[in-house]
Amino acid sequence: MTKKKRKILYSKESIIVIVIFLLLSAVLWIQKSGEQYTVNPEKNIYLKNAPSSNAVFDSLAQDNLVLYDENNDTSRRAKEQFTQILKDMRMGYRLVDISKETIPNFSDYKKVVVLLSDLEGMGDKALEMVDWVEQGGNVLFAVTLSKDSKLTEIEQKLGVSSSSFENAYVKKIYIDKDFMIGGGKSYAIDGAFHSAWSVTLSSDAKVHAWTDDEAKTPLVWEKKHGQGKFVVDNFGIYERAVRGLYAASYSLMTSATAYPVINGTTFYLDDFPSPVPAGDATYIKRDYNMSISDFYTNIWWPDLLKLAETYGIKYTGGVIENYEDDTSGNVHSQKDVDRFKYFGKSLLANGGEISYHGYNHQPLTPKGVDYGDEFPTYKTWKDKKAMASAISELLRFTKELFPKGEKSIYIPPSNVLSKEGREVLREKFPEIKSIASNYFPGKFTYSQEFEVADDGMIEQPRIVSGASWDAYSKLTVFSELNMHYVTTHFLHPDDVLDEDRGAKLGWSKLYKDFQNEIESLYKVVPNIRRLTGSEMAGAVQRYAILTINQNRTDTGLELELGNFHNQAYVMIRLNEGEPGKVKGGKLEHLTGNLYLLEATSAKVSIEVK
CATH number of the domain that residue 160 is part of: 3.40.50.880
Residues near 253 by beta carbon (within 8 Å), at least 6 away in sequence: 111, 138, 139, 140, 229, 231
In a shared domain, residues 154 and 241 = yes
Q: Which of 440, 433, 429, 435 is nearest to 465 (CA)?
A: 440
Q: What is the pLDDT of residue 585?
A: 98
Q: What is the pLDDT of residue 270?
A: 98
Q: What is the pLDDT of residue 278?
A: 81
Whether the Cβ atoms of residue 225 and residue 130 lie closer than 8 Å to each other: yes
What digits encode the pLDDT tens for the residues 50-84?
999 999 999 999 999 999 999 999 999 999 999 99
In a shared domain, residues 200 and 323 = no
**Count of other CB atoms within 10 angstroms of residue 72:** 19
pLDDT band at 10 (very low <50, low <70, confident <90, very high): very low
User: Is residue 316 assigned to a domain?
Assistant: yes
User: Is residue 235 assigned to a domain?
Assistant: yes
Residues near 309 by beta carbon (within 8 Å), at least 6 away in sequence: 350
Backbone φ and ψ for 414, nearest 5 degrees, come out as: 55, 20
Q: Which residues of 561-599 are buried (b: 16+ CB within 10 A; e: fewer)?
A: bebbeeebbbbbbbeebebeebebbebeebbbbbbbbbb
Whether the Cβ atoms of residue 317 and residue 353 lie closer than 8 Å to each other: yes
User: Is residue 67 assigned to a domain?
Assistant: yes
In a shared domain, residues 343 and 489 = yes
CA–CA separation, 182 and 172 (whole Å)? 15
pLDDT band at 442 (very low <50, low <70, confident <90, very high): very high
CA–CA separation, 182 and 209 (whole Å)? 12
H or E element at residue 25: helix 3-33
In a shared domain, residues 435 and 356 = yes
Q: What are the CA-CA distances from residue 547 to residues 53, 91, 244 (Å)?
A: 10, 9, 19
CA–CA separation, 275 and 321 (whole Å)? 7
Q: Taking 90 as the threshold, does the pLDDT of residue 37 lie above it?
A: no
Q: Using only the alpha carbons of the chain, give its radius of gyration.
A: 27
Alpha helices (H) in 59-183, listed in sequence order: 73-88, 125-134, 149-154
Q: Taking 50 as the threshold, does the pLDDT of residue 31 lie above it?
A: no
User: Is residue 137 assigned to a domain?
Assistant: yes
In a shared domain, residues 83 and 116 = yes
User: Is residue 218 assigned to a domain?
Assistant: yes
Q: What is the pLDDT of residue 418?
A: 98
What digits encode the pLDDT tens for the residues 310-366?
999 999 999 999 999 999 999 999 999 999 999 999 999 999 999 999 999 999 999
In a shared domain, residues 204 and 338 = no
Number of independent structural domains in the chain: 3
Q: Which residues of 245-257 are buried (b: 16+ CB within 10 A; e: fewer)?
A: bbbbbbbbbbebb
In a shared domain, residues 315 and 399 = yes
Q: Which of 356, 362, 355, 372 is nearest to 329 (CA)?
A: 362
What digits encode the pLDDT tens for the residues 171-200?
999 999 999 999 999 999 999 999 999 999
Q: Which of 232, 243, 241 is nearest to 209 (CA)?
A: 232
For the domain that residue 438 is a member of, what is the CATH number?
Answer: 3.20.20.370
Q: What is the pLDDT of residue 14?
A: 56
pLDDT band at 44 (very low <50, low <70, confident <90, very high): confident
Whether the Cβ atoms of residue 90 and residue 258 lie closer than 8 Å to each other: no
pLDDT band at 280 (very low <50, low <70, confident <90, very high): confident
pLDDT band at 26 (very low <50, low <70, confident <90, very high): very low
Whether the Cβ atoms of residue 363 and residue 416 lie closer than 8 Å to each other: yes
Alpha helices (H) in 312-365, listed in sequence order: 338-349
> DSSP label at 77?
H
Q: What is the pLDDT of residue 2?
A: 47
Domain range for 599: 546-608
Alpha helices (H) in 196-337, listed in sequence order: 243-250, 282-288, 292-295, 301-311
Q: What are the CA-CA distances from residue 103 to residues 122, 141, 154, 293 (Å)?
A: 8, 16, 18, 65
User: Is residue 443 assigned to a domain?
Assistant: yes
Alpha carbon of residue 443 to chain centroid: 20
What is the rounded average pLDDT for all residues in the chain?
94
Total-model pTM = 0.93
Q: What is the pLDDT of residue 277?
A: 86
What digits encode the pLDDT tens for the residues 557-602?
999 999 999 999 999 999 999 999 999 999 999 999 999 999 999 9
What digits encode the pLDDT tens for the residues 75-114?
999 999 999 999 999 999 999 999 999 999 999 999 999 9
CA–CA separation, 198 and 150 (whole Å)? 17
Q: Which of 482, 608, 571 is nearest to 220 (CA)?
A: 482
CA–CA separation, 364 and 420 (whole Å)? 8
What digits encode the pLDDT tens for the residues 124-156?
999 999 999 999 999 999 999 999 999 999 999
In a shared domain, residues 486 and 566 = no
Whether the Cβ atoms of residue 283 and residue 503 lie closer than 8 Å to each other: yes
Q: What is the pLDDT of residue 160?
A: 98
In a shared domain, residues 209 and 326 = no
User: Is residue 293 assigned to a domain?
Assistant: no
In a shared domain, residues 182 and 197 = yes
Structural domain ending residue among the three candidates 204, 231, 261: 261
Q: Taking 50 as the threshold, does the pLDDT of residue 466 lie above it?
A: yes
CA–CA separation, 281 and 261 (whole Å)? 42
H or E element at residue 12: helix 3-33
In a shared domain, residues 572 and 491 = no
3-state DSSP helix/strand/coil % of the chain, to nearest 5: 35, 25, 40
pLDDT band at 501 (very low <50, low <70, confident <90, very high): confident
Q: Which of 246, 252, 265 is nearest to 223 (CA)?
A: 252
7: left (phi over 0), alpha (psi -120 to 50) or beta: alpha
User: Is residue 117 assigned to a domain?
Assistant: yes
Higher-confidence residue of 29 and 145: namely 145
pLDDT band at 420 (very low <50, low <70, confident <90, very high): very high
Strand partners, 341: none
Q: Which of 265, 266, 279 is nearest to 493 (CA)?
A: 279
CA atoms within 13 A on the CB side of 102: 2
What digits encode the pLDDT tens for the residues 505-526?
999 999 999 999 999 999 999 9
pLDDT band at 27 (very low <50, low <70, confident <90, very high): very low
pLDDT band at 279 (very low <50, low <70, confident <90, very high): confident
In a shared domain, residues 256 and 273 = no
What digits encode the pLDDT tens for the residues 192-221?
999 999 999 999 999 999 999 999 999 999
